[in-house]
Structures are given as structure tokens and as C-alpha cells.
Amino acid sequence: MRLLLFFLITFGCWTTPAVASVLASLDRTTVAAGTSVQLTLSSSDEDGDPDLSPLRRDFDILSRSESSQFSFINGHSSSKKSWVITLMPHSSGGTVTIPPITIGHSQSNALTLTITAAGSAPAPGTSAAAPDPNLFVESTISPRQGRVQQQLIYTVRLFRAVNLAQAQLSEPKVAHAVVVRLGDDRTFETVRGGRRYLVTERKYAIFPQQRGRLTIAPLRFDGQTLSGGSMFDPFNAFGRAVRRFSNPVTVDVAGVPAAWKGGNWLPATAVRLTQTLSKEPYKVGEPITREVVLAADGLTAAQLPPLLDGVLPDGLKRYPDQPQTKDATSPSGVTGTRREKVAVIPLHGGTFILPGVEIPWWNTASNRMEIASIPPRTIHVTGAAAAPSSKPKAPAVSAAPQPEASAAVEQQRPANGRLIWWQGAVAVLLLLWLGTLSLWWRARGESRARPARKPDDPDDDRQAERRVIDGCRRGDAAAVAQALGLWQRQMERQGVDLRRDYPDLARAIDALYQQRYGGGGQCVDLDGFSADFTRVCEALHGAPRSESAPLPPLYPR
């Protein structure tokens, strides 16, 4: 009998059904679409982490946390491990099954979740949903029809009548388009349907790059609603994750119109073209700074064309700076600016016409072609400033004492030896004044007898050459460039063509001007330039100078 009882007990233990060691539960079995739910997994005798991959088919895993509990009661110890997973359903309505989750060698029980319709817009690929009056997102675009590369303003607004924390809004991703964010978010209050909302507004400028239908997918908003406590609760103890989607937006994009006859396609709402010139007078060899600025509302700086690429008249050389571009954003859109500056060098005197600038553009407001222009500008160039004259200046003449003053002094001074000293001093001053007057008169006569120089006098060439060479010795590129203007004018009057007869020197002069006025180019060696310039001058005069003989002084005594 005892043996039979032993076998029955043993067989009963083997046939008792096993109880699952992993338990799964939900904080709610019914949720609105776009609202998170918490799944809790508990295990008392299994080690390892849960395999959550089966959940990713129907849910987004927003967060997970883990906790352990250990107890020792009446000599018996026990442990329990729990995981809390926050899930966001993909579906906007219906019933979703949470499959069994594996932990170690055990699996949890399956669960069923019911999702009711809610949310401003469903996720892509899901059914429509009714709007949530407490929290929704809407988007608009203006204009609803546009053209290639035209600016479209895309606006997204988040309406909320509940407190939020950890709010995030996705960025628009548009195929075949350039997207530029317009400044920071703007927050304001509004009333809709008799209910007050706090609105957060964000704007983008979208530039489609090809014609056809342009679709902007819904943006996704993720945040946490505060059902209790405060938004400033650092632990968000009362928060629940929520997700909303904006409505999709579609725009029809047309191509370039047949009425467009310009070059670069520039669709804009407004275009401004301005010019600035350095002040007159303009002289040979001195730079004339010309600056042109193009600003366009509704275009980026990368879309703007070159401005100063026209051909200048003969006798003017151009040395451009690097163009400067800038984009400025505002709630109304993007304003692109292109600034170009050039240094224009006159090679000889006369009247010149700087070419005008014309920029065709398409007015998107009036839907027609317009032209922004700067008219041609006439300038007058005179000869270079005259060199310092070597004629001696007349010395200052000391005024002779007046007889009345002498008499007054004699009345004031006593008749003693100091009177004789004063009279001697007056005599010496009178003699010096007479001598100075004589020297000045003789120098004035010599200057009148000297014949005046003609503009093409060879002595003027020699003086200009000395100024160029002296500037090279001092390393003063500015003085060399100014003296070269005077020397080139003298050579042109004598019929010398530097580019034909002396091309190496002409290229060296261009490089010097580029270094001085163009803001770039290769650095010019003034010592080597002085040697080349001296050889050309000797060839022009026909009588080479001895290399050992020193140059004459700049200002001879």
C-alpha cells in the first residue's frame, strides 16, 4: 500500500501542468490612435533580456526600463525582475495582438489591444482618423501652384490645449526640391471653434527643381502630455507619450513659361539692382572702384547670375574682387544678395562709357517678365597728378622795422650803451633782408628765362622713369603703380606700343596692377621688375647706360 501511494504521488507531480514563469500585462486595453501604451513583463525565475523584435511589426518602441526586486522572508529568498516598455501603435484603429515575448527559456502570454480612431492625420499607409480637439497638427503651402525654382512657403502649426513636454517635430523631406528653414519657431494664442489653443508655428521655403506634382509627406509630432503635475516636473512622472501627424500637401509645379526670353531663369517677387562708383575726379593710373549689388526676394544667392562680366572700352583695365553672396531669411521667405566689386584702371586720359547692367527676371506676383537695369555711365579721365616741382621757393622776407616804431623804442630806452647794441642789430637785419631779396630776384629771373617743358619732353620721360625705379628700390608698390600711369601716357604720346614691342614688360605691368588693385594674383618681385623696366628704357633711349654707373639723384642740387 505504501509503495502504491509513493508511485501515485510521483506520477501526479510529473503530470501537473507547468505554470508560465513570464507574465505580460498592459496598463490599458483600449487607447486612442497616436497615444502610447505601456507593456509590463515580469519574470521570477528566468535570466536574460526579453526579445522585443516581434513587437516592431505593429509598434514603435519609444522607451524601456528595467527593475529588480529581492526579498527574504522566514528563511526563504525570492527575486523578481520586471521590464516596462512604452509602445506607440502603428495602426489608427482596430484590434492589435501583442504576441508572446521570449525571456530565457520561457514565453509570456499574448495580449489584445483595441485602438480607437483619433489624431489629426494618420501615419502614411493607414486609414483616415478623426481630429483630436486637444492636440493636432496642420500644414499649408502658398502658393498652391508654382514654377520650377520658385519659392513656396510651407507652414506647419501645432495646436494644443494640453500641457506638453519633450515635444519634437520632424523636418520635411521633399524629393527634387531645396528646403530652407525660415528662422525660429513662433508661438501665439488663437481661438478656433470656441476653444482657446496655444499654437507653435514653423515655416520653410521650398524650391522645386523639376516640374510635375510635388507632394510633401505628413510631418510627425512626438511628445508627452502631462495629465497631472507640472510641465516643469523633471521626471515627467505624469506624462504619457503621444504622436500626431500633419496633413499631406500637394503642389502642381509648372516649367519655364514661353514668354521668358532672358538667360538665367530668375522667378522672384522683387529684384533690386544698385551701383556705387568712387568719387571724381578720375586720373590716369588711379583705380576707379565700381560696385554693383543685386538683391532678390524669393531667390537664394546661389541662383543669382554674374553682374560685371561685360567688355570694357579700350584704355580701361579691369581687376575684379571675389564676389560676395549672402542669404537672409524672414517669415516672408529668403532674400539672396550678390555683391561684385572691380577696380577699373584708366591707361590714358579721355572720356569713357562704362557699360550698363541688365538682369531679366520673372515677377511671380504679376506673372510676367521684367528687367532690372543700371544705365551706362560716362566718366572723364584726366592726366596723372603732376610730379613735385624742383623750382626753389622764395624764402620768407623779414619785414623791416617801421620808422615810427624805431622812434618809439628810442624814446623808451635810456641813452646809454644798450641803444648802440639795438641799432647794430637793426642794421644787421636790414642787410640780411636786402641780401635775401637780391637772391630771390635773381632766381625769379632765371626761372623766367628757362623755356617751359612740353608734355612730350624727354625730360618728363626721364623723371617718370626715375620715379618708377625709386619706388621699386623702396618697395612701394603704390608709388610704382602711380608712376607707371604717367610713364605709359608719355609712351602712348610717342607712339610706343608696349604690348607689341615689349610684351614681357606689359605682362609684368598687368601683374603689378592685379596685385595692387585686384586683391589677388601672383606677388610681383619689384627688384626684378626694376631690372626689366630699366632695360626697356635703355632700349627706348637708344643709348644703354653702364651698369656700374650710378643713377642720377631724384632731386639734383
Whether residue 39 contacts residue 87, with contact meaning beta carbons closer than 8 Å, is answered with: yes
Residue 547: the pLDDT is 43
Read off the pLDDT band of 216 (50, 70, 90). very high
Q: What is the mean pLDDT of the chain?
A: 79
Give the residue with greater pLDDT, 275 vs 42.
275
pTM for the predicted model, two decimal places: 0.59
Query: Residue range 395-419: average pLDDT?
Result: 44
CA distances from 70 to 105, 364, 437, 484, 505 (A): 21, 72, 121, 96, 95
Query: Residue range 428-444: average pLDDT?
Result: 82
Q: What is the pLDDT of residues 39-67, one digit of tens each?
A: 888 887 667 788 888 888 888 887 788 88
Cα–Cα dist 13/17, whole Å: 9
Whether the pLDDT of residue 147 is over 70: the answer is yes
Whether the pLDDT of residue 420 is over 70: the answer is yes
Whether the pLDDT of residue 274 is over 60: the answer is yes
Find the length of the chain. Answer: 557
- Return the sign of the alpha-carbon dihedral for residues 454, 456, 462, 464: positive
Whether residue 334 contacts residue 151, with contact meaning beta carbons closer than 8 Å, is answered with: yes
Give the residue with greater pLDDT, 533 vs 141.
141
CA angle 321, 326, 331 (to 5 degrees): 165
Strand partners, 330: 333
Whether residue 101 contacts residue 52, with contact meaning beta carbons closer than 8 Å, is answered with: yes
User: What domains can you pick out in the chain, each with its CATH number?
Assistant: 19-116 (2.60.40), 135-254 (2.60.40.740), 267-382 (2.60.40), 458-541 (no CATH)
**Exposure on the CB side of residue 259, measured as CA atoms within 13 A:** 9
Residue 396: the pLDDT is 42
Give the residue with greater pLDDT, 537 vs 545.
537
User: Residue 176 phi/psi, 5° resolution?
Assistant: 60, 45
DSSP characters over 36-54: -EEEEEEESS--S----GG
Cell numbers 647794430 correspond to 424
Read off the pLDDT band of 557 (50, 70, 90). very low
Comparing 279-283, 367-371, 542-546, the range with the smallest average pLDDT is 542-546
Q: What is the pLDDT of residues 80-138, one digit of tens each?
A: 888 888 888 887 778 888 889 888 888 888 888 888 765 444 444 333 344 578 899 99
Which of 204-218, 464-478, 481-495 is modeled with the greatest confidence? 204-218
Residue 56: the pLDDT is 87
- Return the sign of the alpha-carbon dihedral for residues 53, 58, 59, 60: positive
Read off the pLDDT band of 400 (50, 70, 90). very low
- Bridge pairing between strands 288-297 and 333-346: antiparallel
Cα–Cα dist 454/446, whole Å: 18
Q: What is the pLDDT of residues 300-316, one digit of tens each?
A: 999 999 998 878 999 99
Whether residue 92 contacts residue 126, with contact meaning beta carbons closer than 8 Å, is answered with: yes
- Locate the DSSP E strands across 175-246: 177-181, 186-192, 195-208, 212-216, 220-226, 239-245
- What's the start-to-end Cα distance of the chain, in Å? 150
Query: Residue range 466-473: average pLDDT?
Result: 88
Share of the chain above pLDDT 90, in %: 34
Q: What is the pLDDT of residues 358-385, one digit of tens each?
A: 999 999 999 999 999 999 999 999 975 4
Listed in sequence order, the residues at least 6 apart from 299 whose beta carbon sits closer than 8 Å to its beta carbon are 151, 266, 267, 268, 334, 335, 336
Share of the chain above pLDDT 70, in %: 76
Q: Which three cell numbers stand for residue 166?
A: 519633450
- Return the sign of the alpha-carbon dihedral for residues 87, 91, 97, 102: negative
Give the residue with greater pLDDT, 504 vs 146.
146
User: Residue 495 phi/psi, 5° resolution?
Assistant: 80, 20
Residue 171: the pLDDT is 93
Strand partners, 156: 139, 202
Q: Which amino acid is at 132?
A: D
Comparing 84-88, 191-195, 460-464, the range with the smallest average pLDDT is 460-464
Residue 238: the pLDDT is 54
Residue 334: the pLDDT is 95
Q: What is the pLDDT of residues 318-341, one digit of tens each?
A: 899 999 999 999 989 999 999 999
Residue 373: the pLDDT is 94
CA distances from 379 to 37, 325, 376, 388 (A): 78, 28, 10, 27
Helix (H) or strand (E) holding 466: helix 458-474
Cα–Cα dist 137/524, whole Å: 64
Helix, strand counts (H, E) of the chain: 8, 31
